[in-house]
Structure 1
Amino acid sequence: MLLRRNCPMSTVRWIDSNGGPLVFMPVEVVSTWGGIQKEGSQMTDYDRACTARDEIAIITLRH
C-alpha cells in the first residue's frame, strides 16, 4: 500500500490485523522469508518478528 504525504487523514487506508506481526519487506527479499519453518533449535523468522518490542522493528531473516 502506498501512502502519500500530506494526505488528509480521511483518505488514508489503515491495515488491520488479527494480532500477528505485520511484516513488510522489499519484494527482492521475499524469497528469503522462512516464516514458521524451523531448522533445528533456531528461532524462525516468524519467532523473530514476534519478539519486536515496538510497533516497528527491524529483524534479520534466517536465510
Structure 2
Amino acid sequence: MNIDYLKEFIDLSETFSFSATARRFYVSSSVLSKHISAMEKELAVKLLRRDSHGVELT
C-alpha cells in the first residue's frame, strides 16, 4: 500500500472534501480520486460513498 495514498485518505476522512484534500497534497481532485480507487481495489473494500451531496465513510 502506498503510504501517501493512506495519508490522503486520512485527510479526506477528516475534511470530507476532495478539493480541500487535493489542495493540501498538491494533486488534482481527479488524481486523488484515482488514489482512493486504487486503495479500494487493493483492499477489496469500498472506503467511501460518493454522491452529489459529498463524501461519506462506509
| TM-score bin, normalised by smaller chain | under 0.3
The structure that has the greater radius of gyration is: 1
Higher helix share: 2
So what's the TM-score if we normalise by structure 2? 0.28
So what's the TM-score if we normalise by structure 1? 0.27
Higher strand share: 2
